[in-house]
Chains A and B, each alone.
Chain A
Amino acid sequence: MKTSDKYPIKPPLVADRLLKWILASHQYEIIQGDLHEEFNYQVKKVGERNARWLYWQQAMGFIRPRYLRRQRNLYSSSSYFSHNMIRNYFKIAFRNLIKQKGYSLINIGGLAMGMAVVMLIGLWIYDELSFDKYHQNYNRIAKVMQSASVNGEFGAGEHMPIPLRDVLVTEFQDDFDRVVMSSWTREHILAYGDRKFTKTGNYLGAEAPEMLTLKMMKGTRGGLREPASILLSESVAQALFGQTDPMGKIVKIDNKLNVKVTGVYEDLPYNTAFREMTFIAPWDLYVSSEPWIKSNANWANNSFQMLAQISPNSDFEVVSKKIKNLRLIHVPETASFKPEVFLHPMSRWHLYTGWDKTGKVEGRIQYVWLFGIIGIFVLLLACINFMNLSTARSEKRAKEVGIRKVVGSVRSQLVGQFLSESLLVVAFAFVLSLLLTLLMLPVFNEVADKKLGLPWSEPLFWFAGLGFSLFTGLISGSYPALYLSSFQPIKVLKGTFRIGRFATIPRKVLVVVQFTVSVTLIIGTIIVFRQIQHAKNRPVGYERNGLITIDMNTPELYGHYNTLRSKLKETGAVEEMSTSSAPATSLNSQNNGFEWEGKDPNFKEQFGTVAVTHDFGKTVGWQFVAGRDFSRSFATDSSGMVLNEKAANYMGLKDPVGKIVKWNGKPYQIVGIIKDMLMGSPFEPVYQTVFMLDYNWANVINIKLTPERSTSESLRKIESVFREFNPGSPFDYKFSDQQYALKFATEERIGRLASGFAILAIFISCLGLFGLASFIAEQRTKEMGVRKVLGASVFNLWRLLCKDFVLLVIIAFIIATPTAYYFLDNWLSKYKYRTEISWWIFAVSGAGALLITLLTVSFQSIKAALINPVKSLRSE
């Protein structure tokens, strides 16, 4: 170029660029021209180097407001927050929502559903994490526990020996503020006058109310220091005394202990470990009323709970380390078990409850994670739908964007419009989700065993809810907003506008993600239910229909075995009655000290022990494999023993009947072998158990109802007999089949929650798919028309439209299968008695997902395929 020949030296480019960017555009040309002219002048005069330097100086001189201020526009500028425009945005948004009712419903409904699920999960997680926080000393309370390993397997327990407390209090007074003994939370009978109730409560050390910071409604926390006193929870006080003042009144516990009410405390909330502790009686009273406690107050007997509150400046780890060897020091002969005493902090009681065989902590925290992840996924699915549908509808709005741009909208206004529109929809969804949450809460509470409510007055809730809506609105609205506003008006209005081929790829990825989650959840649900069913189908070894148990918690029930039995049988309502140390549905005692012929001396044996009466077998319906039941016709049966099959195998006896087994030196003769009776967890193998005759070691009365009679009538008759024998107590009974069903509660809860979430996830995914299918069908209307004209059948077109989606679902299935297998295999491995993950589960889930997809897509695609080509091609 001529200019560059004559003026080959160019001024500094950076300075030029900077000026161009920074200067007001209407002044730029003139100033730049002058600067260049000056530069060329200076190059000749002082040389290039200096000229450059001078150029910079000159250029920088223009960084002043005068040159930077942009020119005022002569025409009215676009105002971002103009009242009129915002009103217009809302008007258009409403019109759009109303015009496309189905689409709005899918969009708002889907998002609301997702938000409601997340809200529920959020509440659940919050509740789980805030468990026990009611107690002000939350951070300093711990259970004293001990661990040991038996035959190489780690085990931890909270049954503690009584003398340990004295050691902790006297030798470690710097570390502990309070150490409190506690009985187990159990049912006791409380009576005031003729009002009698069975209530659950504890015997606790006198310092417990301060430790647990009970909120006293009446009396003081010190009330428990009186020797024969009782603190009642508000609801128990209400039940026993109604409107009268309970303070100072005498209440009878279990028909034998008279205690004075010295305080009433606020009911402990449902999310505390002590929620079932509805009354508290002094520990010392317990010790003095139960002689066996005193005689067992030694290091060998582990029977009670121990709660500790550490001093403010110590921490659990340090204290645990200090007390670690206490058992070893006081009972050196247990060294082979590697016993350790440790503190289990209150903050971990609820979520970290168990230890597996290697000593690794596990517990509910897994479910907190699981549901947290599911919640995030469900919300993700809902957001994906929202984005997908909005972008898919964009073609419809493209003309609007074009017109708006032509009449003077700038891009940022359009962004604002679409964002405000999406925020509006999210606001609707939020309100709707609150309603949905309110509706679902009762069901959810029942399924999840919670007492959750929406915390209306909690600012955090609103903050989280609104922040979260804003976030969802912005995130899910951003893509359509940025995308739609970028359209060029000329192209859009001329009609040549086409969304690119690659615009659908993110959408396809999103569909795959959705279906991966859905299929995984379907597989998970099927396997959880299969596992439950697998355990339910186990042979239980006894007959639990019509079997009821009654706790023997008053002295009146003891010592009348035969009269009680004959009276009950006289009524005709009872087929058989017996007592035992444990109900058939729970094994509560395990012991060692057994010896038998051929036992390996190094074998550390452990047996479940149950004391029964002669009639127990007939009551529960024992099934004998070998030998016979206890019988009154053999006097020697008083030292007889019945084994379950597992025990016989465990001992390694070939022909066990007639052999002698010694327990603590006392010989027992095996009279019979029964089929395994499932007393413990249905997911565990049956425990090796021995049954012995003992009429004094009895905790429950087992009654088999006559099958032909109506249950309610039989119960009434039984109650009248019990009234006679035990006038001081209410008649409380438990059905064994219900007790048995309770064993599945946790698994069923997970199963129901998982299936609920799976259904929701599938539902939300289907909504998305439905929207997407309708979009694609619409987009290809003309293509369909042309194909039809050329002779394609409806089936051909249907196949064409469905093919894409089926492919996506198959990809999702391929991803979901190994994922689901991995997680469920992990979950199942914690059950000893477990179902197999068979291939057909995956096949069924895949087929199910495919079927749902086809149903969803077919509606739209058949509709599209049926359109008369004349209509779809008319506009060409």
Chain B
Amino acid sequence: MNRTYLGEFEEIVLLGVAVMQGQAYGVVLMHEIIEQTGRSVRLNQVHSALQRLEEKGMVKSEVGGSTAERGGRRKRLYTVTAYGQRTLQQIQEVRDNFWSRLTSLLKPAFG
């Protein structure tokens, strides 16, 4: 397996982008992540994660839709690329694999 590794925070951001289906941008992602994880996340962290992901080719972005609450400034909207999706799936597969083995090991202890 030969793919770029993702940091934990990057993974979460990537998941967030994937979930929002093309409507993901800085602030909403931040709020989503705060809601889901309960961590305190700052805007600059989200932005830098997004930029890194874009550099790695896992997301792509376009500039679009300004709103009044942004003072008329546009957003940068992110979508997951095919490569990004594949990466997420691979991560999921690896985890599943481990989990399947782990559940068989853990079962007696729980039982």
Contacts and interface: CB of A to CB of B under 8 A. Distances in A.
Q: Do A and B come from one complex?
A: yes
Interface of A: 2-3, 6-7, 29-38, 40-41, 57-58, 61-62, 64, 66-67
Contact of B44 (A32, A37, A61): A61
Q: 10 closest Cβ contacts across the A-B interface?
A: A33-B73, A61-B44, A34-B26, A33-B70, A3-B68, A30-B76, A40-B69, A37-B27, A34-B27, A36-B71
Interface of B: 25-27, 30-31, 42-45, 47-48, 51, 63, 66-76
Contact of B70 (A2, A36, A66): A36
A35 B43 contact: yes
B71 A38 contact: no
B30 A38 contact: yes
B98 to A, nearest CB: 33
B33 to A, nearest CB: 13
Given A30-B26, A30-B76, A33-B75, A57 B42 contact: yes
Contacts of A31: 26, 43, 47
B42 to A, nearest CB: 5
Contacts of A57: 42
A34 B43 contact: yes
Contacts of B67: 37
A36 B66 CA distance: 12
Given A29-B74, A30-B75, A30-B76, A36 B69 contact: yes
Nearest to A11: B71
Contact of A29 (B44, B47, B73): B73
Nearest to B28: A37
Contact of A30 (B45, B68, B73): B73
Nearest to B30: A38
A38 B43 contact: yes
Contacts of A61: 42-45
Contacts of B44: 58, 61-62, 64, 67
Contacts of A62: 43-44, 47
A36 B67 CA distance: 11
Nearest to B45: A61
Given A7-B69, A38-B30, A61-B43, A30 B48 contact: no
A34 B72 contact: no
B43 to A, nearest CB: 5
B47 to A, nearest CB: 7
Contacts of B70: 33-34, 36-37
Nearest to A5: B68
B43 A58 contact: yes
B104 to A, nearest CB: 44
Contacts of B51: 66
18 contacts: A3-B68, A3-B71, A3-B72, A6-B68, A7-B71, A29-B73, A30-B74, A32-B73, A33-B66, A34-B27, A37-B27, A40-B69, A58-B43, A61-B43, A61-B45, A62-B44, A62-B47, A66-B51
Given A29-B73, A29-B74, A57-B42, A34 B68 contact: no
A66 B46 CA distance: 13
B32 to A, nearest CB: 13
Nearest to B31: A41
Given A34-B27, A41-B27, A41-B31, 11 more contacts: A6-B69, A31-B47, A32-B71, A36-B70, A36-B73, A37-B69, A38-B30, A38-B43, A41-B69, A58-B42, A62-B43
Best-buried of A3, A33, A35, A64 by chain B (most CB within 10 Å)? A33
A40 B44 CA distance: 17
A398 to B, nearest CB: 40
A67 B45 CA distance: 11
- The interface centre, meaning the residue of A2, A30, A35 with most chain B CB atoms within 10 A of its CB, is A30
A31 B43 CA distance: 9
A329 B32 CA distance: 106
A828 to B, nearest CB: 78
B48 A64 contact: yes
A7 B45 CA distance: 26
A33 B74 CA distance: 7
Contacts of A38: 27, 30, 43
A297 to B, nearest CB: 98
A3 B69 CA distance: 7
Contacts of B47: 31, 34, 62, 67
Nearest to B63: A30
A352 to B, nearest CB: 72
B75 to A, nearest CB: 6
Given A41-B27, A66-B48, A66-B51, A33 B43 contact: no
Kindly name the residue among A6, A30, A34 whose own CB sees the greatest number of chain B CB atoms within 10 A.
Answer: A34
B46 to A, nearest CB: 8
Contacts of A40: 69
B39 to A, nearest CB: 15
A22 to B, nearest CB: 13
Contacts of B74: 29-30, 33
Nearest to B46: A34
Contacts of B31: 41
